């Protein structure tokens, strides 16, 4: 069991800084939700910021905000999940390979394009030499980072692990993913950088308790997905009626949402359901935003006491999070 | 020489994405690295590529690097001396 000590999030909503929790949610039209970004120059040193692309600035800033809230400067580990990595730098690097006929390539875009750049930059800024890992597992990237954090905290419950999910949309990625049909049926592309400071010991300042995380891949039928959800709840010695709110990853795509629709008629029937991708859009690490949302709902101390997050990405990567009030 | 130094300053600011620094802020003899403009080893690589791309000049001897990249003036002098006809 883990405790969420603090959070930091940059998303298409006003989630950064001292903004009140989604009191004035932004309603988006169209098929692309871009993050509302802070003035980075006020947060990151000018000498460092000049080499950072947008996703790096977003990730680093969300992480720093998370640590600032907890009053911590040195986490015992930094674990990041990202599916796409630093797309903007990757695009620059690949374009220059073509433009310069594979010669005279500048180093910055190449160095910054690797998937672990966000985690590395956080460590560099903090001069943190502790454990640092990045998980790149498509729709399980953030989940894998969380599972790693859980393992670390199982061994050392008094440690503090900074764990986050980051992904960006670029013009090129949006065109390519649109062409692949991801946003054809009503889903909107999203992006975000969300970090959590997790620890194994409770404190009065905690947002919530992360009880369990589980994933399952490519269920053949919705009944198989239902079975996996039941098994997950059983492993936590609860049933669906103990859940006060289910946050689902419905994204507006009829085919995608059919799974949630069918589960709404079976295992989720009669249970309070809410969506989150209308707020942050669809992206492989969107569950980081869902966890941020659940943590903030539970922190208010009013309303739900136990939240189940259930998401699937392209009906292949299915994930479950059980989060409780402290 | 003055035109070449002005061009170099513009290219340095653009290539290295030096925010809040205008080409005119860089002195002709101001050290580029450490205590001067504060550039580092990654910037050195960027400057080497800049010389190759824009001026077709290759620094063949690595030991020349610190002398060539000491300031905008030393860079300009090196370009003048080595630029292909």
Q: In CATH, what number is assigned to the domain containing residue B71? A: 1.10.1200.10
Cβ neighbours around A323 below 10 Å, total: 28
pLDDT per residue over A139-162, tens digit each?
A: 999 999 999 999 999 999 999 999
Q: How far apart are CA A61 and CA A81, in angstroms?
A: 16
Residue A88: per-residue pLDDT: 93
Q: Which residue has the higher pLDDT, A248 or B34?
A: A248
Task: Output the CA–CA distances (angstroms, integers) from residue A207 to A114, A181, A293, A296, A302, in the order listed.
Answer: 32, 37, 11, 7, 13
Interface contact flag, A50 B53, Cβ < 8 Å: no
Q: Count CA within 13 A, CB hemisphere, residue A291.
A: 36
Task: Pick the closest to residue A22 from A271, A208, A252, A300 (CA basis).
Answer: A300
Q: Residue B63 — very low, low, confident or very high, per pLDDT cuts 50/70/90?
A: confident
Whether A19 shows a pLDDT value over 90: the answer reads no
| DSSP structural state of residue A255 | H
Whether B85 shows a pLDDT value over 80: the answer reads no
Quote the minimal CA–CA distance from B52 to chain A in Å: 7
Residue A1: per-residue pLDDT: 82
Q: Count CA within 13 A, CB hemisphere, residue A85.
A: 18
Rounded (to 5) percent helix, strand, coil in chain A: 40, 20, 40
The parent domain of residue B8 ranges over: 2-82
pLDDT per residue over A256-280, tens digit each?
A: 999 999 999 999 999 999 999 999 9
What three-state secondary structure class fits A21?
Answer: coil
Q: Which residues of A touch B53 (CB under 8 A)?
A: 100, 104
Residue A181: per-residue pLDDT: 86
Sign of CA dihedral A116, A323, A239, A315: negative
Angle at alpha carbon of residue B79, lines to B73 and B84, rounded to 5°: 165
pLDDT per residue over B39-53, tens digit each?
A: 998 999 999 999 998
What are the start-end ranges of the E strands in A126-279?
A: 131-135, 160-167, 192-199, 208-217, 245-248, 273-275
The most confident of A15-24, A25-34, A220-229, by mean pLDDT:
A220-229
Q: Which two tokens stand for residue A102?
A: 């594979």
Q: Identify the bridge partners of residue A162 per DSSP, sorted by sequence position.
A: A78, A197
All domains in chain A, ordered by first residue? 2-199 (3.40.47.10), 208-324 (3.40.47.10)
Q: What is the mean pLDDT of residues A235-245?
A: 97
| DSSP string computed for A83-135 | SS-SHHHHHHHHHHHHHTTT-S--HHHHHHTSTTHHHHHHHHHHT--SEEEEE
| DSSP string computed for A269-280 | TTS-EEE-HHHH
Q: Which residues of B touch A92 (CB under 8 A)?
A: none
Whether A105 shows a pLDDT value over 90: the answer reads no
Domain count, chain B: 1
Cβ neighbours around A11 below 10 Å, total: 29
Angle at alpha carbon of residue A139, lines to A1 and A296, rounded to 5°: 45
| Least confident segment among A9-18, A74-83, A179-188 | A179-188
Chain B CB within 8 Å of residue A101 CB:
no
- What is the rounded end-to-end Cα distance, in angstroms, of chain B? 16
What three-state secondary structure class fits A174?
Answer: helix
Whether B84 shows a pLDDT value over 80: the answer reads no
Q: How far apart are CA B82 and CA B85, in angstroms?
A: 9
Interface contact flag, A50 B42, Cβ < 8 Å: no
Q: How far apart are CA A9 and CA A13, in angstroms?
A: 9
Mutation target for A interface from B17, B49, B53, B57: give the one with most A CBs within 10 A.
Answer: B49
Q: Residue A173 — very low, low, confident or very high, per pLDDT cuts 50/70/90?
A: very high
Residue B35: per-residue pLDDT: 79
Residue A170: per-residue pLDDT: 96
Sign of CA dihedral A188, A189, A193, A194: positive
ipTM of the complex: 0.80
| DSSP string computed for B5-53 | HHHHHHHHHHHTT-TT--GGGS-TT--SBTTSS-B-HHHHHHHHHHHHH
Token pair 């911590």: residue: A72
Quote the minimal CA–CA distance from A118 to chain B in Å: 18
Mean pLDDT over the full length of chain A: 95
Q: Which two tokens stand for residue A193?
A: 């950088």
Evaluate whether A122 touches A323 at the Cβ level (below 8 Å).
no
Chain B CB within 8 Å of residue A104 CB:
yes
Residue A8: per-residue pLDDT: 97
Residue A189: per-residue pLDDT: 96
């Amino acid at each position: 069991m883990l405790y969420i000590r603090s959070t930091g999030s940059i998303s298409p909503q006003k989630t950064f800084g001292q903004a009140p929790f989604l009191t004035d949610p932004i309603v988006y039209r169209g098929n692309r939700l871009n993050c509302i970004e802070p003035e980075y120059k006020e947060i990151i040193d000018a000498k460092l910021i000049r080499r950072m692309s947008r996703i790096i600035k977003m990730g680093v800033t969300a992480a720093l905000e998370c640590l600032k809230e907890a009053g911590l400067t040195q986490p015992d580990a930094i674990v990041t999940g990202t599916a796409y990595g630093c797309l903007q730098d990757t695009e620059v690097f690949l374009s220059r390979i073509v433009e310069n006929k594979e010669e005279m390539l500048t180093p910055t875009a190449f160095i910054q394009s690797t998937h672990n750049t966000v985690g590395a930059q956080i460590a560099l800024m903090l001069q943190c030499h502790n454990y640092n890992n990045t998980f790149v597992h498509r729709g399980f990237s953030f989940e894998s980072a969380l599972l790693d954090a859980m393992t670390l905290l199982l061994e050392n419950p008094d440690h503090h692990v900074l764990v986050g999910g980051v992904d960006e949309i670029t013009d090129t990625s949006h065109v390519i993913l649109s062409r692949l049909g991801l946003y054809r049926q009503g889903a909107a592309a999203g992006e975000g950088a969300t970090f959590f400071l997790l620890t194994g010991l409770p404190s009065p300042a905690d947002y919530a308790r992360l009880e369990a995380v589980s994933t399952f891949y490519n269920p053949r039928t919705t009944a198989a997905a239902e079975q996996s959800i039941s098994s997950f709840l059983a492993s936590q010695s609860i049933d669906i009626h103990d859940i006060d709110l289910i946050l689902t990853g419905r994204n507006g795509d009829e085919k995608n949402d059919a799974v949630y629709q069918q589960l709404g008629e079976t295992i989720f029937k009669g249970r309070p359901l809410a969506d989150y991708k209308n707020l942050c859009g669809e992206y492989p690490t969107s569950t980081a935003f869902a966890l941020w949302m659940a943590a903030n709902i539970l922190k208010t101390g009013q309303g739900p006491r136990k939240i189940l997050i259930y998401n699937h990405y392209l009906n292949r990567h299915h994930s479950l999070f059980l989060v409780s009030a402290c | 020489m003055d035109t070449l130094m002005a061009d170099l300053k513009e290219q340095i600011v653009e290539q290295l994405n030096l925010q809040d620094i205008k080409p005119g802020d860089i002195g002709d003899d101001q050290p580029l690295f450490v205590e001067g403009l504060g550039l580092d080893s990654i910037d050195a690589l960027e400057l080497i590529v800049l010389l190759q791309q824009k001026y077709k000049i290759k620094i063949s001897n690595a030991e020349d690097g610190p002398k060539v990249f000491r300031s905008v003036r030393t860079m300009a002098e090196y370009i003048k001396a080595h630029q292909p006809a």
